[in-house]
Amino acid sequence: MSRASRTNAKPSWRRLVGSGMPFFAFQPLATPARYIATALILLFVVGNFVLADVGEMTGWRFVAYALVWMVAALAPWFPPAVAVAMIPAGTLGLIAGLSTNATLAFILVAAFVSLACSLRLIVAYTAAYVIWQFATIPLENREFDAGMFSVLLVFLATTLIGLGFRAARNREQSLNAQIADQEHLRREAAARERARIAAELHDVVAHDLTIISMHAHALRLGPDEASRADSERVIGESAKRALIDLRHLLDVLYGPERMTVDASRDTLATTLGAIENELTAASIPVHLEIDETEPIPRSIDLSLTRVAREAVTNIVKHSPTTAGVRIALATAGGAATLTISNSPERGSQRMRLPSSGYGLIGMRERVEGVGGTFHAGPDQHGWTVRATIPLD
């Protein structure tokens, strides 16, 4: 059974009282409880012996007395074995004239059997005790009377009380296990969410750092004063954004309680406008078309925003001398389509920047993760990235 199914499953009463256990299997009590129970039994045995007529507790009667209670004292430790051993031990006590002690021992063992043993063994022990009681009637030359009936009721009540405590204990253990499973699932979900957000922030930071590197390279080429001022402005803005995103990235990596991202900062509309300004400042012609006739949900907006950032980052890294970039966003037919194309490169010095190699893979996973389709490859426009995501 999976962890999730265990979390949602409710324990049945049969499982709570051990109906699925093997016949001689048992659930051990906590070690301190076993020591305390054994000590109390021995204290009762010694006290009972002191209060009894010492003259009558001699010879084989003493042996029978010791045997009955020695077997009963082991009930907290080995209840299935004690349940079997009580029949001959109780019979010996009855023959020795210790019927009261044998009956008390039977009832005491019933408490531990019902607390720890399988349901089938509990039923078998109860039936064996009832048969034992009726079988002893001829040995004591007595009849079934109200006293014997009362003893049977006490035995059954003890068994039912033990089953009740056992069910409560097992229910508590089951609830604790469910709580632990839910906490484990929550931590797993938080870890997946942190990884997802960290991947998105990586894309954003990589984009900003690429823009900074591109404009720093442009400054080394000695542009005019207007271009220099634009490059310096873009470098400053990109550096500020990168610092903010790095801070968010550290928040994500240092635990779920700090896993917050400013979702209002990067929207698709503002991102496309910022990209247009950045590429224009880098002397790359940009043609931006937005035909947003249907509202785009925030989750889809965020996915397309990351695709746009990564796609343009790849253009700047691998084709900085492109003749132009075309960006088109359209919502039609219940889907949003983002298309980013760059024309073949112009003949000038090419700047090469390092690549992680995960850009296209990350874009594809992000789009397909929300039920969309992704394409990237050469076409008549040069190189095109297209992401289509259903709006419903």
Return the pLDDT at 332.
84
pLDDT tier, 349 (very low <50, low <70, confident <90, very high otherwise): very low
Return the pLDDT at 109.
92
pLDDT tier, 18 (very low <50, low <70, confident <90, very high otherwise): low
Q: How many residues does the structure list for the chain?
A: 392
CATH of the domain at 390: 3.30.565.10
State residue 288 phi and psi, 5-degree precision: -110, 125
Whether 176 and 288 map to the same domain: the answer is no
Residue-averaged pLDDT of the chain = 78
Query: Considering the domain boundaries, does residue 260 fall inside one?
Result: no
Q: What is the pLDDT of residues 86-96, one digit of tens each?
A: 989 988 888 88
Average pLDDT over residues 124-153: 82
State residue 325 phi and psi, 5-degree precision: -125, 135
Q: Which of 235, 237, 238, 254 is nearest to 197 (CA)?
A: 254
Return the pLDDT at 333.
84
Cα–Cα distance, 304 to 310 (Å, whole number): 10
Query: 259 pLDDT exceeds 60?
Result: no
Average pLDDT over residues 297-301: 76
Cα–Cα distance, 359 to 355 (Å, whole number): 8
Q: Tell me, what amino acid is at 68?
A: V
Q: Tell me, what amino acid is at 352?
A: R
Query: Considering the domain boundaries, does residue 274 fall inside one?
Result: no
pTM of the model as a whole: 0.47
> Crossing angle of helices 119-135/99-116, nearest 10°?
170
Query: Considering the domain boundaries, does residue 246 fall inside one?
Result: no
Among the candidates 124, 156, 182, a domain finishes at 182
The residues, any chain, with a CB within 8 Å of residue 121's CB and separated by 6 or more, are 23, 24, 26, 80, 83, 113
Tokens of 240: 């500020």
Average pLDDT over residues 107-132: 89
Average pLDDT over residues 228-248: 69
Average pLDDT over residues 163-175: 83
Return the pLDDT at 328.
92
Query: Considering the domain boundaries, does residue 244 fall inside one?
Result: no
Query: Considering the domain boundaries, does residue 51 fall inside one?
Result: yes
Among the candidates 166, 182, 198, a domain finishes at 182
- Check: CB of residue 261 under 8 Å from CB of residue 244: no
Average pLDDT over residues 61-72: 89
Average pLDDT over residues 270-296: 84
The residues, any chain, with a CB within 8 Å of residue 350's CB and separated by 6 or more, are 320, 321
Return the pLDDT at 146.
79
Cα–Cα distance, 315 to 325 (Å, whole number): 9
Query: 387 pLDDT exceeds 90?
Result: yes
User: Domain span at residue 294?
Assistant: 284-346+353-392
- State the residue for tokens 């550290």: 250
The pairing of strands 382-390 and 325-332 is unpaired
Cα–Cα distance, 364 to 249 (Å, whole number): 22
Query: Considering the domain boundaries, does residue 271 fall inside one?
Result: no
Among the candidates 140, 159, 182, a domain finishes at 182
The residues, any chain, with a CB within 8 Å of residue 288's CB and separated by 6 or more, are 272, 273, 276, 327, 328
- Of 30-34, 125-129, 296-300, least confident by mean pLDDT is 296-300
Average pLDDT over residues 32-57: 80
Query: Considering the domain boundaries, does residue 263 fall inside one?
Result: no
Average pLDDT over residues 351-361: 54
Whether 22 and 144 map to the same domain: the answer is yes
Percent of the residues in the chain that have a pLDDT greater than 70, as a whole number: 75
Q: Tell me, what amino acid is at 7?
A: T
pLDDT tier, 258 (very low <50, low <70, confident <90, very high otherwise): very low
- Of 92-101, 178-187, 212-221, 247-256, least confident by mean pLDDT is 247-256
Percent of the residues in the chain that have a pLDDT greater than 90, as a whole number: 15
Whether 37 and 148 map to the same domain: the answer is yes
Query: 237 pLDDT exceeds 60?
Result: yes
Cα–Cα distance, 74 to 184 (Å, whole number): 39
Coil, helix or strand at residue 296: coil
Whether 310 and 174 map to the same domain: the answer is no
Query: Considering the domain boundaries, does residue 125 fall inside one?
Result: yes
- Check: CB of residue 210 under 8 Å from CB of residue 353: yes
Counted domains in the chain: 2
Return the pLDDT at 17.
52
Query: 346 pLDDT exceeds 50?
Result: yes
Coil, helix or strand at residue 340: strand
For residue 17, the 8-state DSSP code is T
Coil, helix or strand at residue 248: helix
* 137 or 93, which is more confident: 93
Whether 178 and 302 map to the same domain: the answer is no
- Of 51-60, 83-92, 271-280, least confident by mean pLDDT is 51-60
Whether 149 and 298 map to the same domain: the answer is no
Strands (E), the chain: 286-292, 325-332, 335-342, 373-379, 382-390
Average pLDDT over residues 273-283: 83
pLDDT tier, 264 (very low <50, low <70, confident <90, very high otherwise): very low
Query: 347 pLDDT exceeds 60?
Result: no
Cα–Cα distance, 378 to 342 (Å, whole number): 10
Whether 172 and 311 map to the same domain: the answer is no
